[in-house]
């Protein structure tokens, strides 16, 4: 067990590149969005790009914020190993 294995710069750069490629595929409609709304106003090569007015309409049509759900006190419990 012990401490987690050290990860170097190359590892971090690969994670960033991979995440970017997944994001790019999502906004270019090259992958299944699985229900994620991908409309945007700033990705010029995205087939999902929309106007500022359309984006504003989407935001304004969203339901109002409700009361937060209660959070279990278990989240504040500390464990020492």
Judged against a pLDDT cut of 70, whether residue 24 lies above it is answered with yes
Place of tokens 């914020």: 65
Judged against a pLDDT cut of 90, whether residue 10 lies above it is answered with yes
| pTM beyond 0.85, yes or no | no
Name the token pair of 68: 């937060």
Cα dihedral 55, 30, 18, 20, rounded to 10, equals -30
Place of tokens 């990705």: 43
Q: How far apart are CA 51 and CA 34, in angstroms?
A: 23
| Average pLDDT, integer, range 67-76 | 93
| Average pLDDT, integer, range 25-45 | 90
Cβ atoms within 10 Å of 62's Cβ, excluding its own = 7
| Average pLDDT, integer, range 49-62 | 93
How confident is the model at residue 1, as a pLDDT?
66
Q: How far apart are CA 47 and CA 33, in angstroms?
A: 13
């Amino acid at each position: 067990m012990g401490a987690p294995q050290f990860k170097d710069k190359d590892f971090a750069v690969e994670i960033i590149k991979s995440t970017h490629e997944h994001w790019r595929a999502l906004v270019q409609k090259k992958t299944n969005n699985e229900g994620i709304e991908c409309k945007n106003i700033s990705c010029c090569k995205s087939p999902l790009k929309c106007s500022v007015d359309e984006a504003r309409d989407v935001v304004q049509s969203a339901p109002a914020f409700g009361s937060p759900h209660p959070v279990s006190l278990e989240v504040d419990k500390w464990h020492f190993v």
